[in-house]
Structure 1
Amino acid sequence: MALPINIEDLLHKQRVESNRIEFKEGWNPTSIYHSICAFANDIDNLGGGYIIIGVAEKNGIAVRPVKGVPEENLDKIQREVLQYNQLIEPVYAPRVSIEEVDGKYLVVIWATAGHNRPYTAPADVNAKLKKPIFYIRYGTSSIEAKGEFLDQLRDMANRVPFDDRGNENISIDDISPLLLKDYLTKIDSRLAKANFATDMERILDQMQLYDGPKEKKSIKNVAAMMFAEHPEKFFPTTQVDIVVFPEGREKNPENFIEVPSILGPVPMMIRRTLDYLRTNIIKERITKPTDDEHSVKVFNYPFQALEEAVVNALYHRDYKEREPVEITIEPNRISILSYSGPDRSISMESLKEANILRSRRYRNRRLGEFLKELDLTEGRATGIPTIQKKLRENGSPKATIETDESRSYFLIDIPARIDFVQDASSIRDTDIEQIRINLSKICPRYVQDMSMSELGFLAICLIRAKKEVSAQEMLEGIDKISYKQKKRKYLEKLLAMGAISMTIPNKPTSKNQKYVLSDIGHDIIHT
């Protein structure tokens, strides 16, 4: 059986969290079956894990070159796996793959979360009297479940996350071979070399995307979420709706722009949503501090913060809810709303602090696993800290989170960097069309060939020059051309038309030179 993930990613603990990977130097069935049982119980709903036999570790890192498993032992180990599987109760069978690394063979056991939790395994698989024990993962170790952990494990009996359930309405024809092959190619899986015209059923089976007995197996919901061209056929209103309020929802609720709904498999919705935000919403500004030779680049919204928020919304939403992910864009913030809300294991205090949200239960564990392998999400409880960190590094205010007592929704507000909001507010207060009319009347020959966007940039420069500003301060963040080009196109044009004046006119190139509105500039803005 080929793994649905590249073996090197497992050895380097990439795309899969470290607590879901266990290295074993040799074949020790008792210890290994404790971990298989723990991964099958999957108390944290992470999606099970991988045990790699033939690898020594040092401080949690795989020692290379790998030690390997002698070739003559491979068949024996696989036969014993079949034998020891019978000792897990209720019935459970992990997948086994033989991988070649560093010229040696490794045995990889893929133990997914089981559907019939809780499971037990013998304390000693070779003892005559085999005592069944419940095992769980605790950090990077497999331990016996006792007390509160055992109560929680028993409470999870037959509670399978929605994305990991079979769906009789999904047929193999609904799964796109092109999307599936593209995914497997991106993660460098050996399954990408299969014949997708004839082997789709085998590929889905090896990826653990079937549920139920052989005579009546059904495709899991996560297969449609990831690889169906129209997942909304099975999960109505699975889409992203974006609404832009140029003046703000409260200030002018009648003035809004509705972006066409973004549909498709989850990775495609993520990419298309982020493409729209990057192209139409994110603005960049480059400044050069007087005490530092290096330029500083800031944004109205750091892309990484928006990326985490969008991925989180589509990863953690409830696909049984007939509600879209809603993104509302206003001059001072972006709000992302998804249904339903956060798990009750996250306290309201933690939500209010909006620093780190630790959940004991994940709604879509398999979907998260697929997204991690595509590097679209980092892993457990990292989304909100990443958002706050990127906002902090950008000099933006902190994001806030809101939900209700019944946890029916999750709303995150991502504020714009304040100086971008101030510029936007100033421009809104000074009608761009009026400035164009005034420029045409007062300085017609300078603006007759300028576009509306260029007039907008001129307006920003004029507004900034209400008080004394340097050339860098006046031109930062406008137009996507070089600083020299901006000086020639905007600053020098404003000087030529007499709309601004120098504060040190007898020393035009002085490093202390600043610019301020002239009487003509005041007339252009205020007439």
Structure 2
Amino acid sequence: MLHDELIEIIANLRALGGDHASVEAKRAETKLPKSVRETLSAFANTSGGVLIFGLDETRGFEATGVQEPAKLEADLAAMCSENLEPPLRPLIGTHRFEDADLVVAEIPELPPASKPAYNRGTGMTQGSFIRVADGDRKLSPYEVQLMVANRGQPRDDEQPVPGTTVTNLDEFLTASFLSRLRRHRGRAFANLDDTAALRRAKILVGDVLSLAGLLALGEYPQEFFPQLMLSFVHYPTKSGPDPRGTRFIDNVAAEGPIPVIVDEALIALRRNMKRRSTVRGAGRTEAWEYPETALREAVVNALVHRDYSGSSHGTQVQVEMYPDRLVIRNPGGLYGSVREENLGVEGTSSARNATLLKILEDTPLPGSDRPICENRGSGIPAMLAAMRDAKLSPPRFADDISTFKATFPNHTLLGDGAVQWIASLREHGLTDSQCHGLAMLFHGETLNNQVYRNANDLDSRVATEELGDLVARGLLVPTGGRRYAQYTLADDVVPTPADDTVSDRRRVDRREGLLLALGEKEATRADLVAATGLPDRTVSRWLSVLLRQGLIEATERNLRSPNVRYRRTPQRTLDETGVEG
């Protein structure tokens, strides 16, 4: 790790006042803490992370140091090699920071074929952990089972279902399926009779149905698996049932084969959605709260990519509608190379239930010749594109190994309130995608590079440039460092509750106050914080604006140094610059 990166990480820990999802600081003056094994397992099983020894969290991440850094390095390397299974190979080094020695270890994420990493002393079931927020959580036996299953291609969807025969298939769906097979895959199926074709397609395993065949084409799969269905509930309040007595507005149990479940789920969603207005240029258009394409793809993904192992047969796909959001969750997290951060990236696709997905490629939606899915990794991109076209925030995805959840916020990105607030910032030259990013934060969404790219269909380079421009304008503040950067609104542009309805709010200009505080002398940022009473982040942001406008100059090139001082320049006046645009 570069020393500048370490400085940035520690500064972020101090600003946040706690550990980060991918950074853990431990005191460790003389020896490794007992909890290190858990953190090593958690980082290796999640997205990797950084361990810093020699920082005291209880004292604001003060650098207390490590007494014998070489010994601690050797002990940590031995623990990774001898106590963890599989052995871990972190990058370990010692850094001098604030007159103290810190030992820093970069823990890589294990590939899916090697997970879970666990403590040999307690075994796989009791010794496997995952990183959640800023802590380590022990995996449940079910989560461990999923990780082990994900080492290869799961075959749960190919398992035979005892007691079934071809008589349990829906005649119409099966005939449509076979017809498509013979039209589109003639070389493999044209010369086979129905039974042979069903066996080749793995609908039949011998003389009984496979689980995939039953779910895709069965007349009533819930006869054998009552909970392999979808439940839809429309709640009256943001927290669920109304405490005054109304439990739900609508409640639907969608049963049958997957094509019928998808159809019934979409009918229920249409019945419970409202029409909304969306600002487009000088006018507005009327549309459903959520675009149907996005909902269809989300429902199909939940049914097709859910876990179908025996441990999950008691859990259904759940769709929950609230006044402010729609949530779709399914048992079983993401599989294979697909991760939260690369969902929607072109070419990223991995199928847990490969046979089921293959069958549904040739299984049409009721009343349509369109197949349920296309098996080209196009589901998430289609969902994101539909949300962009509707000027809505992209869905938030959350994967916790045992469950995958897609949350669709119920608001128009560029409705009247957001448009008026962005206009009140008086920032000229913003791109459409920058306005969308600001609108997402206006509505309380989280924003990072991947979310910004998905929301605006940009490549990484353009997204980085545009986010950097918003930071340079003083509108956004990056947190988490370069590796793990997330963006929040600057303190002086955060909308108040009234911003939803009024447009006369103006961005507070802090330049004059800082120039008055400087006067004719030099001052550090800390001096200006004390003189103005403003938050450190606000002072830092407006110092950047003053530097760009040539109204002040710094005594050092390294603006990260706590010793850098600022002074006024005589070349320009505040009146000459105006509000930066």
Larger RCO, structure (CA 8 Å, separation 6 or more) = 1
TM-score class, shorter-chain normalisation, is 0.3 to 0.5
* TM-score normalised according to structure 1 size: 0.42
* TM-score normalised according to structure 2 size: 0.38
Q: Say which one has the larger Rg.
A: 1
